[in-house]
C-alpha cells in the first residue's frame, strides 16, 4: 500500500537584511524585481568573488526553491533585474524574454552624444575574440540582428543623457550600438574609455505582460547622479 504523499513544508520566511531589502523594487508571489548594484555579477565566475548567488538564499522568502534570474544584466550595469520565484513563473518569464516581449528601458550617459534628438540604430552583432584582447562584440553584417531605439533626455558640455530601448537582447548590445554611433557610454572600458565613476548605464525600467502585468522602475544609482544632474535630471522628492 502506497503511503500518501506529504507536501514538503515551505521554508520559513525570514526578514531580509536591510541592504538587500532596500533593493527589492517589487515583490509578488511569482516574481521579484531587484535593483542590482553596479559591480555585482549575476552569476559567480570561475574566479569566484561576490555575485547575486550570494543573495539568493536570503531572497527565498518562504518559497521552496531559490529565486533565479530570468534574464541577463552585465555586472557593471545597475538597475532592474527580474527573478522568478517558482519554476512555472521562471519558465513563463523565460518565454517572455526569449520572444522579445519584455519592454526594457535604460538610461545612459554618453560621451559627446548624438546630434539628433532621437533615432534608431539597426546593426547586427557578433562575438569575436583574440589572445591579446579577449572576447568582445562587434558590428558585423554576418552577426545576429540587433536594433536599439534611443532619444536624448538632456545634455551637458561633452555628454548627453539618453534613454535606450533595445528591440533585441544581444550581449553588450547597448554598449556596442552607442559606440558605433560615435558616442560610447561614459566609463565603458571595453568599447570606449574607463572613468573613475564606472559604467554610466542603468536598467531604468522593466514591463512584462504577465497576469497581472509586472512593472518596476529603478532609481538612478549614486555613481550616475552627478552626470545626470548636469544633464538636467532632478531627483524626485520623497512623498
Instruction: Please identify every residue annotated as catalytic.
Output: 74
- Tell me how many degrees the CA angle 7-12-16 measures, rounded to the nearest 5: 145
Amino acid at each position: 500500500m502506497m503511503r500518501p504523499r506529504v507536501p514538503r513544508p515551505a521554508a520559513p520566511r525570514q526578514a531580509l537584511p536591510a541592504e538587500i531589502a532596500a533593493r527589492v523594487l517589487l515583490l509578488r508571489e511569482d516574481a521579484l524585481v531587484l535593483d542590482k548594484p553596479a559591480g555585482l555579477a549575476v552569476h559567480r565566475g570561475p574566479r569566484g568573488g561576490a555575485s547575486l548567488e550570494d543573495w539568493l538564499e536570503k531572497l527565498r522568502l518562504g518559497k521552496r526553491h531559490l529565486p533565479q534570474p530570468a534574464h541577463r544584466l552585465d555586472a557593471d550595469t545597475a538597475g532592474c533585474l527580474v527573478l522568478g520565484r517558482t519554476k512555472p513563473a521562471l519558465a513563463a518569464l523565460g518565454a517572455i524574454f526569449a520572444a522579445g516581449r519584455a519592454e526594457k528601458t535604460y538610461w545612459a550617459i554618453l560621451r559627446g552624444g548624438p546630434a539628433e534628438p532621437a533615432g534608431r540604430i539597426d546593426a547586427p552583432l557578433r562575438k569575436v575574440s583574440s589572445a591579446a584582447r579577449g572576447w568582445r562584440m562587434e558590428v558585423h553584417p554576418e552577426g545576429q540582428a540587433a536594433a536599439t531605439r534611443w532619444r536624448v533626455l538632456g545634455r551637458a558640455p561633452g555628454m548627453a543623457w539618453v534613454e535606450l530601448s533595445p528591440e533585441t537582447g544581444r550581449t553588450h548590445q547597448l554598449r556596442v550600438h552607442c559606440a558605433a554611433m560615435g558616442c560610447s557610454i561614459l566609463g565603458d572600458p571595453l568599447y570606449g574609455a574607463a572613468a573613475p565613476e564606472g559604467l554610466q548605464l542603468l536598467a531604468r525600467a522593466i514591463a512584462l505582460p504577465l497576469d497581472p502585468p509586472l512593472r518596476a522602475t529603478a532609481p538612478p544609482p549614486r555613481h550616475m547622479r552627478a552626470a545626470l544632474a548636469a544633464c538636467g535630471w532632478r531627483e524626485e522628492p520623497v512623498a
